[in-house]
Structure 1
Amino acid sequence: MRISDEDKQLFSEAIGKVKPMVVDTIHPVKTPGKSKSKLVEKKSSKQVAQFHFSDEFEPNLNKQGPMQYVREGVDSFEVKNLRRGYYSPDLILDLHGLDQHQAKKELAALLYACQKEHAQCICIVHGIGSHILKNKVPHWLVQHPDVMAFHQAPLEWGGNGALLALIELKDKFNRD
């Protein structure tokens, strides 16, 4: 379809004065991207930090007395040391105000951070509240391969509303 001279004139009057555009001759600089291996490594690290705990798993934990657990092959004396307060936590995680989904993610991230920060003892403050996290946190900890033992925390670290856990450190992470 052709545009008539009259339509061109009407268009020019409606637009007014027009200034021609200057052609931009600056070309974007290409920065070297991250190598594929670094991206894969970062992705796998993120997946490790998001360890998936099962809510259906029911470990055989002692229902009498304070909450405690010792992984098979770990000296039971370590639990006594946790109970007596011989270990002080290197990292503390407070789960107050979090729902189960958020608490699971935070706990997985904490266990991942233990390896990076070389934290052997951690404190997880779950609170008492309606006993949801108080019951779930031990079930999740039992499932993680790095958790050697845990015990209800001494009063100075939260007592009945917290757990102290011993973490097995691996040499796969370097301190930065």
Structure 2
Amino acid sequence: MADPRDDDEDDSELFRAAIGPVRRLPEATAPPGKPRPRPRARMAERDEAHAREEFRHALDASLLEAGDALSYRRDEVSPRLLQKLRRGEIAVQEELDLHGADTREAEQLLRAFLHDARQHGVGCVRIIHGKGLHGAASVASSGMPVLKNLVDRMLRHRADVIAFHSAPPAQGGTGAVLVLLAPRRLR
């Protein structure tokens, strides 16, 4: 009986004769590996965290109490116009009541309200934030009114707010603020 390995050798020789001379292919470079993560600026992150903490402490030092009046005007706004606002002599066109809202919700509502008012050409709005005398959500652990301080801080940092003052007693007193918005510029 014939050895099956002899048949395999014959087949191999026939195959090599059929294909002719062989040349070796160059080595292919390996595919790129997974990219390394970007380096983190840990010192910068630490500095940012420290700066935020310092900013919070500065804010705590300037927090308003329940009876404090909010007041702000940009340089281009005359003191006379602020006085008219303080007296309630400027007609309020829209109103937002933040009673019962937590801080995050109040911030979102306020941003959306001011954006919408500006888009519709509203010049004066009233924001009711409450005095912070009732409810755990409206008063911080320090006893300061949370929503009142949030509204004050947000309004001071918005480019579209040119002046604001706590409302006269008949319109909510120190639990509400009247806000003058910059006129919308047409592009």
> Do both share a fold (TM > 0.5)?
yes
**Can you list the C-alpha shifts for 1:24-81, whole angstroms capped at 9, x where unaligned?**
xxxxxxxxxxxxxxxxxxxxxxxxxxxxxx99584x7998962200013221222101
Match of residue 99 from structure 1: 102
Match of residue 147 from structure 1: 161
CA contact (8 A) 1:90 1:119 kept: yes
- In the aligned structure 2, how far is the partner of 1:75 from the partner of 1:65? 22
Any idea what SS the aligned residue of 1:74 has? coil
Q: How high is the TM-score relative to the length of structure 1?
A: 0.60
Unaligned runs of 5+ in 1: 1-53
Identical positions, percent: 34
Any idea what SS the aligned residue of 1:151 has? strand
- In the aligned structure 2, how far is the partner of 1:118 from the partner of 1:170? 6
Match of residue 78 from structure 1: 81
Match of residue 160 from structure 1: 174
Alpha-carbon shift at residue 88 of structure 1 (Å): 2.1
Q: How high is the TM-score relative to the length of structure 2?
A: 0.57
Which of structure 1's runs of 4+ aligned residues deviate more than 2 A?
54-58, 60-66
CA contact (8 A) 2:166 2:174 kept: yes
The one-letter code sitting in structure 1 at the alignment partner of 2:85 is: L
- In the aligned structure 2, how far is the partner of 1:141 from the partner of 1:151? 11
**Can you list the C-alpha shifts for 1:91-118, whole angstroms capped at 9, x where unaligned?**
1000001011111111111111112221
Unaligned runs of 5+ in 2: 1-51, 133-138, 140-144
- In the aligned structure 2, how far is the partner of 1:117 from the partner of 1:75? 24
CA contact (8 A) 1:61 1:69 kept: no
How many residue pairs were aligned? 120
Q: CA RMSD in A?
A: 2.8
Structure 1 residue corresponding to 2:120, chosen from 117, 136, 153: 117
Question: If each structure's helix is expressed as a fraction of its own residues, which one has the higher value?
Answer: 2
- In the aligned structure 2, how far is the partner of 1:140 from the partner of 1:155? 23
Alpha-carbon shift at residue 172 of structure 1 (Å): 3.6
Structure 1 residues 115, 172: CA separation in 2 closer, same or farther (over 3 Å shift)? farther
Match of residue 91 from structure 2: 88
